[in-house]
C-alpha cells in the first residue's frame, strides 16, 4: 500500500453505489467460493454484490410489507448513515465524536420528557437497553429477582440469566396482560412491564408501576406512541417507571442499531453502570464499549419531520391496523385474536390451516406466531407506505 491508497478516499464509485441503490440490478453472478489472495477492486465488488444485496432484497416500504417490527427507513437516515460510516465516530471517545455526543444529548433531551424520564443513552437495541436497566436495578436497589409476564420478550430472560438473578414468569390474563392477581411478593423484585408485547402488541397495566422495588417498562415497540397526541394516553403511567427501553429502529424509523435506555433518576442509575479511568477521557456508561453515532440519523429524522411528522406516520400505521382488524372481524372464515392495541393484528383462518394460508400470501405480508398452541398470522403496522386495501383484498382472495 502506498501513501496514495485510493481505497480510503471517495471517488466516482460512491456515486455508482448510489446509482445501484436507485436501480438495483437483478442478474446475479456467483460470489467467490473462497477468500482469494487478490481482491477484485471496489467497482467490481459493487457490481458483483448489488444484485445479491439489493436486487433480491425484501423491501420494507413495499405496499405488501406488513409483517415485522422493522420499518422502512426514510432516505435522510441513509444519507446520514453514509456520513456516519465515513467518519466512524466513536461515542466512547469524545475527541473523535464531538457532534455525535451533542446529537445524542439533544435527542435524549427532546425525547425523555415524553416518558417522564430525566435522561439516558443510546444503545444497539432494546435487548441491550433492557439488560442495562436491569443491571442498574440490581446494583442500585439490590433487587433479588426479576418478574415479568409470559408474554415478555426473551431479552428479559437473557438479562436475568446474565445478571444471575432468578426470573419469574407470570401468566397472562384474558387480555394478554400480566395477570395482577398472580403477582406474588415483589417488594424486593424488579417488575418488568411490556408496552407492546412482541407477539400481540398488548400493553401490561401500567398501574402496576411503583409496587416493586424497581419498575422497568419494556416499550421497545410501543414507546413511540407517547409522541402521538391521539395515542399517548395508552401509555399513561409510564412516567412513574424507574427505567424505560425503546427501540428507535422500530417505530422511530431508524436504521439498526438504534435504541434508547432512559432512567427516571439518571445520576443514580449511571453511578452503577459507569466505568472510568485508564485511557478513557470520559466515563463509559452502559453495556457497550465503542458505539456509533446512531443519534445523528435519529436527530435528523426528528428535525426533518418534527413531532407531527413522526406521530402522523405512527397514527396512520395504527389506523391501517384498525382497518385490517375491522375487515377481518367481518369475515366468518377468520378468527381474530383481539382488536389491535398497538398496531399488531393477529388472526387465523378457520377454513384452512394457517400454514396453508401463509404459503398463499406474498412473502413479507405477514409473519406467524404461536399462541395457546395454535399457529396464528401476525401483522405489524411498521410500514406507513403499506397499501392496506390491497392487503385486505389479497387475504380475502387467498381464503
Ligand X SMILES: *Cc1c(COP(=O)(O)O)cnc(C)c1O
CA distances from 390 to 63, 64, 66, 152, 386 (A): 8, 8, 11, 32, 9
Cα angle at 264 between 100 and 343, to 5 degrees? 80
Contact region with ligand X (CB under 6 A), list: 76-84, 88-96, 120-128, 344-352: 120-128
Q: Which of 73, 81, 89, 127 binds ligand X (CB under 6 A)?
A: 127
Burial class (CB within 10 angstroms; exposed 0-12, middle 13-18, buried 19+) of 290: exposed
Taking the least distance from each CB to ligand X, the nearer of 198 and 311 is: 198
Please give the size of the binding site for ligand X, defined by CB under 6 A.
15
Residue 227: CB partners within 8 Å, gap ≥ 6?
A: 114, 307, 310, 311, 314
Q: Which of 77, 89, 132, 194 binds ligand X (CB under 6 A)?
A: 194
56 in Cβ contact with 26 (< 8 Å)? yes
Is residue 259 near ligand X by the rule CB under 6 A? yes
Is residue 73 near ligand X by the rule CB under 6 A? no
**CA-to-CA distance for 191 and 183, rounded, in angstroms?**
9
Q: Which of 20, 60, 65, 69 binds ligand X (CB under 6 A)?
A: 69
Is residue 261 near ligand X by the rule CB under 6 A? no
Is residue 220 near ligand X by the rule CB under 6 A? yes
Taking the least distance from each CB to ligand X, the nearer of 158 and 240 is: 158
Is residue 379 near ligand X by the rule CB under 6 A? no
Q: Which of 77, 228, 247, 354 binds ligand X (CB under 6 A)?
A: 247
Q: Give 203's strand partners.
A: 195
Is residue 77 near ligand X by the rule CB under 6 A? no
- DSSP states of 302-346 as a string? HHHHHHHHHHHHHHHHHHHHHHHHHHHHT-TTEEESS--SSSEEE
User: Which 147-166 positions form the footprint of ligand X (CB under 6 A)?
Assistant: 153, 155
CB of 50 to ligand X, least distance (A): 27
128 in Cβ contact with 288 (< 8 Å)? yes
- CB-closest chain residue to ligand X: 125
Residues binding ligand X (CB under 6 A): 69, 125-127, 153, 155, 194, 196-198, 218, 220-221, 247, 259
Amino acid at each position: 500500500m502506498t501513501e496514495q491508497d485510493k481505497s480510503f478516499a471517495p471517488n466516482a464509485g460512491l456515486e455508482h453505489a448510489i446509482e445501484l441503490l436507485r436501480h438495483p440490478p437483478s442478474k446475479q453472478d456467483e460470489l467467490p467460493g473462497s477468500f482469494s489472495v487478490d481482491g477484485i477492486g471496489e467497482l467490481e465488488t459493487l457490481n458483483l454484490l448489488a444484485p445479491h444485496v439489493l436486487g433480491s432484497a425484501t423491501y420494507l416500504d413495499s405496499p405488501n410489507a406488513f409483517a415485522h417490527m422493522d420499518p422502512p427507513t426514510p432516505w435522510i437516515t441513509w444519507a446520514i448513515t453514509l456520513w456516519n460510516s465515513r467518519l466512524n465516530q466513536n461515542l466512547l471517545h469524545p475527541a473523535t465524536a464531538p457532534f455525535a455526543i451533542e446529537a445524542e444529548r439533544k435527542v435524549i433531551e427532546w425525547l425523555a420528557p415524553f416518558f417522564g424520564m430525566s435522561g439516558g443513552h443510546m444503545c444497539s437495541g432494546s435487548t441491550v437497553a433492557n439488560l442495562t436497566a436491569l443491571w442498574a436495578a440490581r446494583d442500585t436497589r439490590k433487587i433479588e429477582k426479576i418478574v415479568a409476564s409470559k408474554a415478555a420478550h426473551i431479552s428479559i430472560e437473557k438479562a436475568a440469566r446474565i445478571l444471575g438473578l432468578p426470573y419469574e414468569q407470570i401468566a397472562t390474563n384474558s387480555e394478554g396482560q400480566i395477570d395482577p392477581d398472580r403477582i406474588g411478593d415483589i417488594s424486593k423484585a424488579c417488575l418488568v412491564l411490556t408496552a407492546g408485547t412482541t407477539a400481540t402488541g398488548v400493553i401490561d397495566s401500567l398501574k402496576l408501576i411503583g409496587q416493586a422495588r424497581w419498575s422497568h417498562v419494556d416499550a421497545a415497540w410501543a414507546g413511540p406512541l407517547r409522541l402521538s397526541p391521539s395515542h399517548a394516553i395508552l401509555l399513561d403511567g409510564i412516567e412513574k417507571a424507574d427505567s424505560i427501553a425503546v427501540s428507535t429502529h422500530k417505530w422511530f424509523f431508524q436504521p439498526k442499531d438504534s435504541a434508547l435506555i432512559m432512567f427516571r433518576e439518571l445520576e443514580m442509575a449511571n453511578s452503577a453502570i459507569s466505568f472510568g479511568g485508564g485511557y478513557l477521557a470520559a466515563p463509559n456508561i452502559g453495556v457497550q464499549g465503542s458505539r456509533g453515532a446512531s443519534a445523528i440519523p435519529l436527530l435528523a429524522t426528528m428535525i426533518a419531520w418534527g413531532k407531527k411528522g413522526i406521530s402522523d406516520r405512527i397514527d396512520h400505521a395504527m389506523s391501517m391496523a384498525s382497518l385490517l382488524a375491522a375487515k377481518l372481524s367481518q369475515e366468518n372464515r377468520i378468527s381474530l385474536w383481539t382488536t389491535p392495541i398497538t398496531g399488531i393484528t393477529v388472526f387465523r383462518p378457520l377454513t384452512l390451516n394457517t400454514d396453508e394460508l401463509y404459503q398463499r400470501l406474498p412473502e413479507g405480508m405477514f409473519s406467524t406466531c404461536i399462541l395457546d398452541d395454535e399457529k396464528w398470522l401476525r401483522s405489524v403496522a411498521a410500514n406507513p407506505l403499506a397499501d392496506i386495501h390491497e392487503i385486505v383484498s389479497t387475504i380475502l382472495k387467498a381464503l
